[in-house]
Copies of this chain bind each other. A is one copy, B any other.
């Protein structure tokens, strides 16, 4: 079911790589030039072997006794994660969450930008948020095709999400970052990545209760 193509990088590793990258960027800014798996692991609450195995998948090579050259390691991560090419996205749904994402500056660090936002509400159409124009959603298909945008962000309510996704895909979008708490039904070709904040908060809640009310009573 869904995409059966074998990923070159296991998903658990892929989830950790960007976090390593963030940490390593900060270390580089502090002036660190060489770094070992052990120190990375310590900072991130992991074990060294795991970090080593993850980093091996980026093609980076370290050296005995001193570890990795930080600069080389960052470059390897950038190549692996695709930060070395500019990526433009279109966002749909300029509610409070959509606005928050439009304000987010950090995406730029990874060569990712939101080119424009779309909505159906007259209240926001015509405004600009952090320099990005908010356009009427009916213009999405033509603009998407014209600018060859392949990435979409869905920030509309759950009820509207499937329809927005359908229009996105028929307009040429090939990868969707979905903040609506529903499972989108789309062709297997389309990459969907769900960001389900409520579900995520729910995990925190359960982890807490597991630890504090002991094991399930039975």
Residues of A within 8 A of B (CB): 1-3, 5, 7-9, 14-15, 17-19, 21-23, 26, 41, 43-47, 80-83, 87, 95-97, 99-101, 103-104, 106-107, 109-110, 112, 150-151, 158, 174-177, 181-183, 189, 191, 193, 195-212, 215-216
Contact B183 A112 (CB under 8 A): no
Contact A110 B200 (CB under 8 A): no
A208 to B17, CA, bound (A): 16
User: Residue on B with the closest CB to A199?
Assistant: B18
Write out the residue numbers on chain B whose beta carbons fall within 8 Å of the beta carbon of A198.
Answer: 18, 22, 104, 106-107, 109-110
A177 to B200, CA, bound (A): 9
A201 to B101, CA, bound (A): 11
User: Residue on B with the closest CB to A150?
Assistant: B208
Contact B45 A2 (CB under 8 A): yes
A175 to B206, CA, bound (A): 10
Cross-interface CB contact of A104 among B151, B176, B197, B215, cutoff 8 Å: B197
Closest chain-B Cβ to A72's Cβ sits at a distance in Å of 17
Cross-interface CB contact of A97 among B3, B43, B100, B199, cutoff 8 Å: B100
Contact A209 B82 (CB under 8 A): yes
A3 to B208, CA, bound (A): 12
Closest chain-B Cβ to A156's Cβ sits at a distance in Å of 13
A191-B211, A193-B207, A200-B193 known; A181+B106 contact, CB < 8 A: yes
Residue from A47, A150, A174, A207 whose CB has the most chain B CB atoms within 10 Å: A207
Q: A19-B196, A174-B208, A191-B208 are in contact. List 11 more A-B contacts (CB 8 A).
A: A1-B41, A14-B206, A81-B202, A82-B209, A96-B99, A101-B197, A104-B198, A107-B198, A109-B198, A112-B201, A174-B212
